[in-house]
Every structure is written in C-alpha cells, then in structure tokens.
Amino acid sequence: MSAKYLVRFDAHCTTMNWQFWAEIEAVLDEHRIKPILAVVPDNQDRKLAVAPAQGTFWEHVRKWQERGWTIGLHGYQHAYTTNDRGIVGIQRRSEFAGLSTKVQEEKLQKAVAIFRDKEIVPRVWVAPGHSFDWNTLEALKKVGISVVSDGFALAPHTDSRGVFWIPQQLWKFRWRPFGVWTVCCHHNTWTAQDISQFRQALEKYRHEITDFSAVTSAYCRRKCGPMDNLYAKAHSTFLSLRSQLQTTA
C-alpha cells in the first residue's frame, strides 16, 4: 500500500497571516484538499499577532467547517506556562503539560465553550508546541475529545485508553513508501517562496493526499504495533539530536 498524507495548518487565529492564507486557501480548493485546521480559541500569544485582527474570523472558521475541513482545538490561549516537554517531547514548553488534570480541564472547558458559542465543533486535539501529558488526555475525554493529531507512528491507531492517535511526523512533504503521514504547516511564517513550494508539493502528491474522515474510518480499529514503536523511538532520537546540535551551533 502506498503512503497517504494529511495536510494540517497550525495556529489559526484572528491575527494570523491573512494575506498569504487567501492564496493558500485557493490552492487547497483547487486541489480539493480537506486539511486539518488547528484553531486557537482565545489567542494570547504575541508571536501569532502577525496581521491586524480579522473581525470576521469565526465566520471563516464556520465556512471551513461547512466545507468539510476538520477543525482542531489548538489549546486554549496558546500561552506557554510550563517547561514540560510532555508525552511527545519535541519542545520544552507547554500550555498544558505539567499541570493538574483539574486545571487542564478548566482550560479546555473554556476553550470548548468559545467554540460552542461560535458554532464550531472541535474534532481533534492539536497541542500548542506539541506538548501535552496524560492529564491532558484525561481532561480531553471530559470535554468530549478523544482524537489527537500528534505523536510518532507509521499509521493512526487507537491506544488502550481509547484515544485515537493520528501521528504527525513531517513539516514538509517527503516521499515515503507506506504509512500515513501528517504534514504540519505554519503559514504565519511563510513567504511567497513557501507558498510556491507548497503548490508544487500538492501537485506532486495530490493523489496520495487523504483527509481526516477517511483516515478515521480506515484506522479506528488499528492498534499500535512493534514497527510503530521502533519508528517512534528512532524519530524521537533523531529530533533530540538535531535539537542538541542546533542549540550548540
């Protein structure tokens, strides 16, 4: 079986890069791609303030939802409060990892309430900074979310806690012989060249790009296997070494 790819865009908020997003959205529509869009309910991260606030933001989110695009809950305020790497361990900062289940649940309840008020249904959890812990997963269950877009594996799977994991392993399209690969894009820092490269990638991989609903249906009963664990360990080691080299460079 050939590889399949999911497209995910992170950090959608009122002050995101609207100028480039219009072109990106047009490219997605052109190729009939249904991405995962990670939306911040109440952004308080100044680094995400890259453009004037768009007053019609939630109208856009509802439009994307109606179009069949998957809306992800991207934390609450995208404000990092701890130095905990969490389960995935990519970055030493988190909005959730290291906090009690009660505190995390309170944050998530507020986040989901904002979505509910805006008529948005979050279908998947996307943690700011890829950092969350087991308390986060318990709190997510209490607010009705049991799907996570993160972690390293060769394909989506359901764990012993009933959490469905859609792994997120790439930050740009790369050829893979098999498996399901989520490509995480951060358009707030993109340039015109990045958009051009993204367009070329979609043209190249169009027939291998799938969507959230198809993946959920096909893999919901799959369990994590030895090859997934082996890949996860190798990938985590690689990212850790790369981070150390970048720190000492």
Angle between helix axes 101-117 and 134-142 (nearest 10 degrees) is 40
Report CA-CA distances (Å) from 186 to 17, 66, 141, 216, 220. 10, 23, 27, 23, 27
Structure tokens at 135: 């308390």
Burial class (CB in 10 A: 0-12, 13-18, 19+), 6: buried
Structure pTM? 0.94
Q: Go through 59-88 and write b for each residue having 16 or more CB atoms within 10 A of its CB, e for each that does not.
A: ebbeebbeeebbbbbbbbbbebebebbbbb
Q: What is the pLDDT of residues 56-80, one digit of tens each?
A: 999 999 999 999 999 999 999 999 9
pLDDT for the residue 236: 78
pLDDT for the residue 248: 45
Structure tokens at 146: 């049991």
Average pLDDT for residues 184-199, to the nearest whole number? 96
Mean pLDDT computed over every residue of the chain: 94
Sign of CA dihedral 126, 132, 136, 137: positive
- What's CA 116's distance to the chain center, in Å? 20
Spatial neighbors of 154 by CB under 8 A, at least 6 apart, are 167, 178, 179, 180, 227, 228, 231
| Whole-number Å distance between alpha carbons of 185 and 234 | 22
Q: What is the pLDDT of residues 148-175, one digit of tens each?
A: 999 999 999 999 999 999 999 999 999 9
Position with higher pLDDT, 105 vs 1: 105
237: left (phi over 0), alpha (psi -120 to 50) or beta: alpha
| Whole-number Å distance between alpha carbons of 54 and 116 | 20
Where residue 91 falls among pLDDT bands split at 50, 70, 90? confident
